Chain A
């Protein structure tokens, strides 16, 4: 956010309120869902989906990524790629080793 003329900021503030409300709602939804005791895979899917939505709301609006310069976006794109490679670590260790069981 470089140029912030009051009018623009007012628009932002309205957005913040909307985002705030939806974050609250989503929080309650996840908790509610957790009391349904879904089977684990199901539960994980739902919980992570909601968390991702909340996360992107925060990133896009509170952190202004939605209107951020492309240099920043590029840096984050690279980071996301590396983040995904780190997440391969568990996959590798469990899916493909020659250990015997028992």
Chain B
């Protein structure tokens, strides 16, 4: 919006500022760690904030899981603390359940995974991997973080406004969302902040990638992770504005009394709604999904990038079909803009529209298959090291496989009839985002932690963390397929208990809940590991994994400006086990001996 308009111009003044500050590095703590313009500090700020939001979103869900396991029975311990407005006598109200659901979705997607995968890993790793001293617009980069931070604060604050936080699902369908309380307004304002943040970030990433590449680093020498972030940024740049538009319209409906999404003649609880009418509820859905489908690829592409890096490094060989993977990636990004209405199959589509979106949806699954297949085949002929990052990266493959494959029955209009809005959908996308993306993010943390801190994380704790997470993720989500196939709807306060047809599968809800809580416990080793290793982890040199990509040519942790001497690139990203060389890795920046 207009703020971004000004910031773009300011950003350039900033690069100036950064350049003025060039010589003297003795800045105050505040300017070094809080309002820093260094991409590494910002990346770490993004990561920590993102992780904390993930944890928070998870806690919301662990609460909900109690209600789903034991509908209507008071929540032990915590229940009393929630207050009578939310959980009188410790038993959560339907309103509160809906709040938790909507906020879990919003927080996990917009405040957890995207900031961690794009804001965190993108900011920290991408400039290093392309051999840049920093992002193209450091001050804009800082603003992007603080816009995100503001958005997060607004979202959290919304829990405490009268009527509580948004409770119409993360999809905020009108009219429901417009009849909802002031929490929804907060949600919209928060989203505007988050969108602004993502747009600033995307502009920065794209400019940085094309402009600040090291000498010799052609696009075909990019690590797959850089490609992934590049495509992701385009998705953010072009898909988010329509949601911003939708948000503005819904704000107008809520604050100025317009009825963009309200048709004429609504009667709410017996009272005729006093609005001009003439709006269209489907308009919101179209604008929302026009963002939200590309958004789900924003959630997965960086994850694929991370996994590719780690697999190449731990198989000690080049990736199979690197170019195919890149072409698939670009095609995937492109297609993700023309499948949005597969989320709206049940809104009353005619045959043309339905056929169109089914077809695009089937087409878009092919590049994913191609990427996954390449990653799997890359294992063949490797000399595989089962490090903690590798374990998570390997687990990503079948987990994403399950999530992706179950997308297919949802993508066919007729098979979507029994499955739409059931727990099958919940299971589908959690397999891609939770044991999929979250595992990839864990892998990335274990992999780049030494670069960020100069210390290794504990392998032992890492393996414990992996085992627990792997087992319990599946224990949470596998049963949901059964519940969904039995026809039980999502977003049910009692998990389906009030329906006869749901009775045979209700016990699975309890299994999922136990899984979720156990999953929570198995995160403890990770948190300990994470905090402990920062101070006491084994010290390492700049290239502990013996990797080939540029970030490992910089000191760990890299100084302000990253590289001691501007790196130059001589070869592709994954030159492992090149025949006839002493070492089994051939760094991109190593000059070929004559």
Direct contact of A and B (CB under 8 A): yes
Residues on A close to B: CB < 8 A?
71, 78-79, 82, 85-86, 89, 92-93, 95-99
The 7 residue pairs across chains A and B that have the minimum distance between CB atoms:
A96-B350, A96-B353, A89-B286, A82-B238, A96-B352, A98-B348, A97-B348
CA distance A95 to B349 in the complex (A): 10
Q: Is the CB of A98 within 8 A of B349?
A: yes
Q: Is the CB of A92 within 8 A of B286?
A: yes
- Across the interface, A71 reaches (CB within 8 A) one of B210, B242, B341, B348, namely B210
Counting CB contacts under 8 A, is B337 at the interface? yes
Q: Is the CB of A92 within 8 A of B353?
A: yes
Q: Is the CB of A79 within 8 A of B238?
A: yes
CA distance A89 to B285 in the complex (A): 10
The residues of A that contact B242 with a CB separation of less than 8 Å are: 86
Please report whether the interface of chain A is mostly helix, strand, loop or mixed according to DSSP. Answer: helix
CA distance A16 to B12 in the complex (A): 27
Q: Is the CB of A78 within 8 A of B348?
A: no
Residues on B close to A: CB < 8 A?
210, 234, 238, 242, 280, 282-283, 286-287, 290, 337-338, 341, 347-353
CA distance A86 to B341 in the complex (A): 12
Known: A82-B337, A96-B349. 8 other contacts (CB 8 A): A71-B210, A89-B283, A92-B286, A92-B341, A95-B350, A96-B351, A96-B352, A98-B350
The residues of A that contact B280 with a CB separation of less than 8 Å are: 93
Query: Closest residue to B354 on the A side, CB-wise?
Result: A96
The residues of B that contact A85 with a CB separation of less than 8 Å are: 290, 337-338
The residues of B that contact A93 with a CB separation of less than 8 Å are: 280, 282-283, 286
CA distance A99 to B282 in the complex (A): 12
The residues of B that contact A86 with a CB separation of less than 8 Å are: 242, 290
5 CB < 8 A contacts A-B: A71-B210, A79-B238, A92-B286, A92-B341, A99-B348
Q: Is the CB of A89 within 8 A of B349?
A: no
CA distance A95 to B352 in the complex (A): 9
CA distance A86 to B288 in the complex (A): 12
CA distance A85 to B294 in the complex (A): 13
The residues of B that contact A95 with a CB separation of less than 8 Å are: 350, 352-353
Query: Closest residue to B352 on the A side, CB-wise?
Result: A96
CA distance A98 to B351 in the complex (A): 9
The residues of A that contact B348 with a CB separation of less than 8 Å are: 97-99
Distance between B168 CB and nearest chain A CB, rounded to angstroms: 21
Q: Is the CB of B286 within 8 A of A97?
A: no
CA distance A96 to B348 in the complex (A): 9
Residue from the set A79, A85, A92 with the largest chain B CB neighbour count within 10 Å: A92
Query: Closest residue to A75 on the B side, CB-wise?
Result: B206
Q: Is the CB of A78 within 8 A of B349?
A: no
The residues of B that contact A92 with a CB separation of less than 8 Å are: 286, 341, 353
CA distance A71 to B219 in the complex (A): 14
The residues of A that contact B234 with a CB separation of less than 8 Å are: 78
CA distance A9 to B551 in the complex (A): 43
Distance between B313 CB and nearest chain A CB, rounded to angstroms: 32
Q: Is the CB of B350 within 8 A of A97?
A: yes
Distance between A13 CB and nearest chain B CB, rounded to angstroms: 24
Residue from the set B290, B352, B353 with the largest chain A CB neighbour count within 10 Å: B353
CA distance A97 to B351 in the complex (A): 8
CA distance A78 to B230 in the complex (A): 14
Distance between B216 CB and nearest chain A CB, rounded to angstroms: 19
- Across the interface, A89 reaches (CB within 8 A) one of B290, B350, B351, namely B290
The residues of A that contact B347 with a CB separation of less than 8 Å are: 97
The residues of B that contact A96 with a CB separation of less than 8 Å are: 349-353
CA distance A78 to B330 in the complex (A): 12
Residue from the set A71, A89, A99 with the largest chain B CB neighbour count within 10 Å: A89
The residues of B that contact A99 with a CB separation of less than 8 Å are: 348
The residues of A that contact B290 with a CB separation of less than 8 Å are: 85-86, 89
Residue from the set A79, A96, A97 with the largest chain B CB neighbour count within 10 Å: A96
Query: Closest residue to A93 on the B side, CB-wise?
Result: B282
The residues of A that contact B210 with a CB separation of less than 8 Å are: 71
Query: Closest residue to B290 on the A side, CB-wise?
Result: A86
The residues of B that contact A97 with a CB separation of less than 8 Å are: 347-350, 353
Residue from the set A78, A79, A82 with the largest chain B CB neighbour count within 10 Å: A82
The residues of A that contact B238 with a CB separation of less than 8 Å are: 78-79, 82
Query: Closest residue to B280 on the A side, CB-wise?
Result: A93
Distance between B385 CB and nearest chain A CB, rounded to angstroms: 40
CA distance A15 to B283 in the complex (A): 43
The residues of B that contact A89 with a CB separation of less than 8 Å are: 283, 286-287, 290
The residues of B that contact A98 with a CB separation of less than 8 Å are: 348-350
Distance between A102 CB and nearest chain B CB, rounded to angstroms: 14
Distance between B352 CB and nearest chain A CB, rounded to angstroms: 5
Distance between A23 CB and nearest chain B CB, rounded to angstroms: 22
Distance between A94 CB and nearest chain B CB, rounded to angstroms: 9
The residues of B that contact A79 with a CB separation of less than 8 Å are: 238
CA distance A62 to B480 in the complex (A): 57
Query: Closest residue to A82 on the B side, CB-wise?
Result: B238
Distance between B472 CB and nearest chain A CB, rounded to angstroms: 40
CA distance A97 to B353 in the complex (A): 8
Query: Closest residue to A100 on the B side, CB-wise?
Result: B348
CA distance A93 to B282 in the complex (A): 8
The residues of A that contact B341 with a CB separation of less than 8 Å are: 92
Distance between B347 CB and nearest chain A CB, rounded to angstroms: 8
Distance between A89 CB and nearest chain B CB, rounded to angstroms: 4
Distance between B341 CB and nearest chain A CB, rounded to angstroms: 7
CA distance A92 to B282 in the complex (A): 11
The residues of A that contact B282 with a CB separation of less than 8 Å are: 93
CA distance A93 to B242 in the complex (A): 16
CA distance A92 to B337 in the complex (A): 15
The residues of A that contact B349 with a CB separation of less than 8 Å are: 96-98
Distance between B258 CB and nearest chain A CB, rounded to angstroms: 18
The residues of A that contact B338 with a CB separation of less than 8 Å are: 85
